[in-house]
Amino acid sequence: MKEMDENEIIDFLMEGTRTGKLSTVREDGHPHVAPIWFVWNEGKIIFCTMDSSVKAKNIRHNPQVSICVDDESPPYAFVIIQGTAKFSDNQKDLLKWNTILGGRYMGEKLAEVYGKRNTVEGSLLVEVTPTKMISEKDVAGW
Amino acid sequence: MKEMDENEIIDFLMEGTRTGKLSTVREDGHPHVAPIWFVWNEGKIIFCTMDSSVKAKNIRHNPQVSICVDDESPPYAFVIIQGTAKFSDNQKDLLKWNTILGGRYMGEKLAEVYGKRNTVEGSLLVEVTPTKMISEKDVAGW
């Protein structure tokens, strides 16, 4: 099994328009997983969601999360982050982060357009502090 | 929000080398998510894992799972399947399914090679029966 070093992990997370798949636990104990637009910033995963989303409800009940980012082409690779989610103390920065996320996922020319589109009543800024990061590259190698 | 119909969902799941991100719950209540090679077959998700994997341990403890498959490019789309996982009654078919999975993810020429590579002591065939399927296409649309 070939692991990535920390710099490789960060480059991998931030490559192109790779989405994160955020896993949370529902109040009834069932798992939930959904895609997120995210960025890595100062040791944390930053993403935005709606207050009414399953993600936000689950995090409110249980802040433990797991995030998977993978390369879906041969020879395949992935990073899995376990961590703790927290609604940011800086919700005033929501537009700033939605603009950064818009730039990453829709291209720089549309960054501001998407920043505004996604900053609406009920949007929330969330930070995930990793407690463990697992990686594997060349999964299909010998 | 634009949903897919059932045929679109199945086509989406089976397009190219899209991996599933399988979410399970650990015995301590924390979520786990990891990529899987899978196929859709007769209304079920079929995948293989190792008996010693976190996935298998969690499923043994709590068979409720959630699987996310997404398109990581604009305008983005995803399918989320909630369901119940079960270790197949037909573990003798492991080589057959690993060969099908090898063909999907490594190409038909390497199907048999990867079928054999992945059918080893401790491999397990798993079936997920969906209880709910959620989809969204054109996520970044207006």
For chain B, the residue count is 142
Tell me the CATH architecture of domain B6-89+122-136.
Roll (2.30)
Tell me the residues of chain B between 92 and 131 that have a Cβ less than 8 Å away from chain A: 105-107, 114, 117
Which residues in chain B have Cβ-Cβ distances shorter than 8 Å to A82? 30, 32
Tell me the residues of chain B between 28 and 87 that have a Cβ less than 8 Å away from chain A: 29-35, 62, 64-68, 70, 72-74, 76, 78, 80, 82
Asked if A24's CB is within 8 angstroms of B29's CB, the reply is no
Residues B14-70 have pLDDT tens digits of 999 999 999 999 999 999 999 999 999 999 999 999 999 999 999 999 999 999 999
For the complex shown, is ipTM > 0.95?
A: yes
Q: What's the whole-model pTM score?
A: 0.98
What are the domain boundaries of chain B?
6-89+122-136
CB A62 within 8 A of CB A85: no
Which residues in chain B have Cβ-Cβ distances shorter than 8 Å to A109? none
User: Packing angle between helix A94-106 and helix A111-118, nearest 10 degrees?
Assistant: 130
Confidence of residue B1 (pLDDT cuts 50, 70, 90): confident
Distance CA A133, CA A12 (A): 12
Tell me which of 3.40.1180.10, 3.30.420.40, 2.60.40.680, 2.30.110.10 is the CATH number of domain A6-89+124-137: 2.30.110.10
Beta strand residue intervals within B19-63, DSSP E: 20-25, 31-36, 38-41, 44-50
